[in-house]
């Protein structure tokens, strides 16, 4: 209590190396895994040392096809955002203001699509709405149509549907959290001043909520702007986003300069959105009194309430239906029952040329996931320790720096690695290193977030108390820090594991046949003809879904609070 000296606590003891390491090591990692590829992308994208400064940009901007790609990317992201908001807002209201049996489970359930790899969602929609999907099979069986009546594959519509399914959770969870925390006393005060419910909503609730809605919109826009797996699998060539175009330019057309120019364009947009999101979220938080009186939960009383609640339940069912369809289709349902797909992925029966061994893909994925956990968790924990002191002037810039990789799309990251990782004559790209680095880079900000919030919640004097009681610095770490952080570390590890398993864009760019992962293998099966390949893709997607879902279940069980707010 005496004065401003908390930050100096414990100076003169503790492991000095660790103190330096908690800032230096994460920064070194960022330099290698992020700054260097990023710098190379900028160099190539700006045409440094090439034909001339900005030549790639000028060429890209002069190409009507690429201009079209840019406009389409913006257009589909905007439309997806509006649809996700329209679809999610009523549910957000219900989850914020209504209490009913199963509310918690539903809230957890809607989050499942968001934590799954986009490729699983894409396969889910394929299973639901594809030519041999659940809906078409059912319609054919019931009405005897000659051919599948729902023809959505490779249309703009199915992309939008997939985006809404994927982003629904963000809209609902972000907005309902703020909505639930809006102090009901403010509304009551307005009502007592003779405002009608409609007027209360328009003049009080909506303005207070606006920043939260805008923040959710910015986040959804950012995610859909860089949509990759969903578009690659469900869309037609004319639906290519910048992200898909960068991939094509780099791997098919070998035009790294143009790819880098597009990546930079995209980067400016996503970082801008990220910045807008952070600002808006601050604004939203400032407007609500957190932990005010618990928002008075409304029990449904009017028909309108029941309709809204029913609508929310229906929305949840709709959002989850692709996953269920995927599960059914992986067993051959409807139209029979079979384990062909699973048998295929757990045996190496075929000896096709270019055949992707499913067992190897699973093994590779697990290997990368373990490596990612082993790298991301220590880095994240160290970095969180470095950010612990809230008064240090460098804390906020450093925190922002650590979060920066989140604003960079996966394909851009992969591109940066492709452009960079050659040291002398040794080509690092032929090793496992770039894939592990990319996965770690995407995973470790999450580790920082969960560990940091637990560290901040820790009472400040626990370590000192232990020390005065005779505990050596090592014992303080093993008996105080680690036990208290164990849950957060576990959550971070599960998250890193799931992120690595599902990572698609960067891995695809960096892929080499011997390192093929599950998501890459799924794409491989899909691009090959034949029912057997489709069955393999569905089975492997289901395995991915179940592993990632189990991880999410573990996280929710750990009841780590705050994660629900992203």
When the beta carbons of 470 and 529 are compared against another protein, the nearer one is: 470
C-alpha R_g of the chain: 25
Q: Tokens standing for 166? A: 């994927």
- CA 107 – CA 98 distance, rounded (Å): 12
Residue-by-residue DSSP string for 188-221 = HHHHHTT--HHHHIIIIIHHHHHHHHHHHHHHHH
Q: Count CB neighbours of 171 within 10 A.
A: 25
When the beta carbons of 242 and 452 are compared against another protein, the nearer one is: 452
Q: How far is the CB of 460 from another protein (least distance, A)?
A: 7
Q: How far is the CB of 454 from another protein (least distance, A)?
A: 11
Q: How far is the CB of 449 from another protein (least distance, A)?
A: 21
DSSP 132: T
When the beta carbons of 259 and 466 are compared against another protein, the nearer one is: 466
Burial of 105 (0-12, 13-18, 19+ CB in 10 A): exposed
Burial 526-539 (b: 16+ CB within 10 A, else e): bebeeeebbbbbbb
- CA 68 – CA 53 distance, rounded (Å): 23
Contact residues toward another protein (CB under 8 A) are 1-5, 8-13, 459-462, 464-473, 475, 479-480, 483-484
Q: How far is the CB of 135 from another protein (least distance, A)?
A: 51
Q: How far is the CB of 346 from another protein (least distance, A)?
A: 41
- CA 193 – CA 427 distance, rounded (Å): 72
When the beta carbons of 237 and 470 are compared against another protein, the nearer one is: 470
Q: Which residues pair with 426 in a beta bridge?
A: 423
With CA atoms as reference, report the closest residue to 232 among 323, 129, 162, 128: 162
Axis crossing angle, helix 103-115 with helix 531-557, rounded to the nearest 10: 130
When the beta carbons of 189 and 465 are compared against another protein, the nearer one is: 465
* Contact yes or no for 270/407 (Cβ under 8 A): yes
When the beta carbons of 289 and 461 are compared against another protein, the nearer one is: 461
Q: How far is the CB of 475 from another protein (least distance, A)?
A: 6
Q: How far is the CB of 481 from another protein (least distance, A)?
A: 10
- CA 242 – CA 225 distance, rounded (Å): 8
Q: How far is the CB of 212 from another protein (least distance, A)?
A: 32
Q: How far is the CB of 502 from another protein (least distance, A)?
A: 32
* Contact yes or no for 491/371 (Cβ under 8 A): no
When the beta carbons of 467 and 541 are compared against another protein, the nearer one is: 467
Q: How far is the CB of 7 from another protein (least distance, A)?
A: 8
- CA 487 – CA 495 distance, rounded (Å): 12
Measured at the alpha carbon of residue 166, what is the angle toward residues 265 and 489, in degrees to the nearest 5?
90
When the beta carbons of 349 and 462 are compared against another protein, the nearer one is: 462
Q: Distances from the Cα of 335 to the Cαs of 48, 137, 145, 344, in angstroms? A: 58, 8, 15, 19
- CA 327 – CA 301 distance, rounded (Å): 37
When the beta carbons of 15 and 53 are compared against another protein, the nearer one is: 15
When the beta carbons of 149 and 562 are compared against another protein, the nearer one is: 562
DSSP 405: G
Q: Distances from the Cα of 137 to the Cαs of 142, 149, 538, in angstroms? A: 9, 9, 16
Q: How far is the CB of 554 from another protein (least distance, A)?
A: 19
When the beta carbons of 2 and 352 are compared against another protein, the nearer one is: 2
472: left (phi over 0), alpha (psi -120 to 50) or beta: beta
Q: How far is the CB of 462 from another protein (least distance, A)?
A: 5
DSSP-derived 3-state class of residue 83: helix
When the beta carbons of 14 and 549 are compared against another protein, the nearer one is: 14
């Amino acid at each position: 209590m005496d004065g401003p000296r908390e930050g100096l606590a414990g100076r003169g003891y503790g492991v000095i190396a660790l103190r330096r390491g908690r800032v230096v090591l994460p920064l070194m990692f960022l330099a290698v895994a992020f700054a260097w590829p990023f710098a190379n992308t900028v160099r190539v994208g700006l045409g440094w040392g090439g034909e001339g400064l900005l030549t790639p940009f000028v060429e890209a901007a002069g190409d009507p096809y690429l201009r079209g790609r840019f406009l389409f990317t913006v257009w589909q992201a905007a439309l997806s955002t509006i649809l996700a908001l329209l679809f999610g807002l009523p549910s957000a209201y219900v989850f914020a203001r209504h209490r009913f049996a199963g509310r918690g489970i539903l809230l957890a359930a809607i989050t499942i699509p968001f934590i799954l790899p986009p490729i699983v969602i894409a396969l889910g929609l394929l299973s639901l709405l594809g030519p041999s999907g659940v809906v078409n099979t059912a319609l054919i069986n019931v009405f005897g149509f000659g051919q599948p009546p729902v023809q959505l594959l490779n249309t703009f519509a199915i992309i939008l549907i997939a985006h809404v399914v994927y982003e629904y959770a963000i809209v609902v969870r972000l907005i309902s959290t703020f909505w639930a925390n809006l102090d009901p006393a403010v509304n009551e005060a307005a009502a007592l001043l003779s405002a009608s419910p409609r007027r209360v909503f328009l003049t009080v609730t909506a303005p207070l909520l606006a920043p939260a809605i805008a923040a959710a919109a910015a986040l959804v826009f950012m995610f859909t702007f860089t949509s990759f797996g969903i578009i690659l699998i469900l869309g037609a060539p004319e639906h290519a986003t910048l992200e898909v175009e960068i991939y094509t330019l780099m791997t098919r057309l070998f035009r790294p300069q143009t790819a880098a120019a597009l990546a930079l364009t995209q980067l400016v947009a996503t970082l801008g959105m990220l910045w807008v999101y952070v600002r808006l979220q601050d604004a939203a938080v400032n407007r609500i009194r957190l932990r005010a009186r618990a928002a008075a939960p409304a029990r449904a009383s009017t028909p309108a309430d029941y309709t809204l609640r029913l609508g929310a339940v229906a929305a949840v069912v709709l959002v989850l239906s692709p996953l269920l369809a995927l599960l059914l289709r992986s067993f051959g349902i409807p139209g029979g029952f079979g384990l062909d797909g699973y048998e295929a992925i757990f045996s190496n029966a075929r000896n096709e040329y270019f055949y992707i061994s499913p067992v190897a893909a699973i093994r590779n994925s697990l290997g990368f996931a373990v490596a990612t956990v082993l790298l991301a968790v220590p880095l994240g924990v160290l970095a969180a320790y470095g950010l612990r002191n809230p008064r240090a002037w460098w804390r906020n810039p450093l925190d922002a720096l650590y979060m920066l990789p989140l604003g960079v799309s996966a394909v851009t990251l992969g591109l940066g690695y492709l452009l960079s990782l050659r040291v002398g004559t040794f080509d690092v790209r032929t090793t496992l290193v770039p894939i592990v680095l990319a996965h770690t880079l995407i995973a470790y900000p999450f580790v920082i977030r969960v560990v940091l919030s637990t560290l901040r919640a820790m009472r400040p004097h626990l370590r000192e108390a232990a020390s005065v009681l005779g505990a050596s610095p090592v014992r303080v770490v093993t008996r105080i820090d680690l036990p208290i952080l164990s849950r957060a570390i576990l959550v971070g590890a599960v998250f890193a594991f799931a992120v690595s398993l599902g990572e698609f864009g960067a891995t695809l760019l960096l892929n080499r046949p011997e390192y093929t992962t599950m998501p890459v293998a799924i794409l491989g099966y899909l691009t090959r003809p034949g029912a057997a390949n489709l069955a393999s893709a569905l089975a492997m997607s289901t395995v991915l879904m179940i592993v990632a879902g189990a991880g999410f279940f573990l996280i929710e069980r750990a009841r780590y609070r705050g994660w629900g707010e992203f």
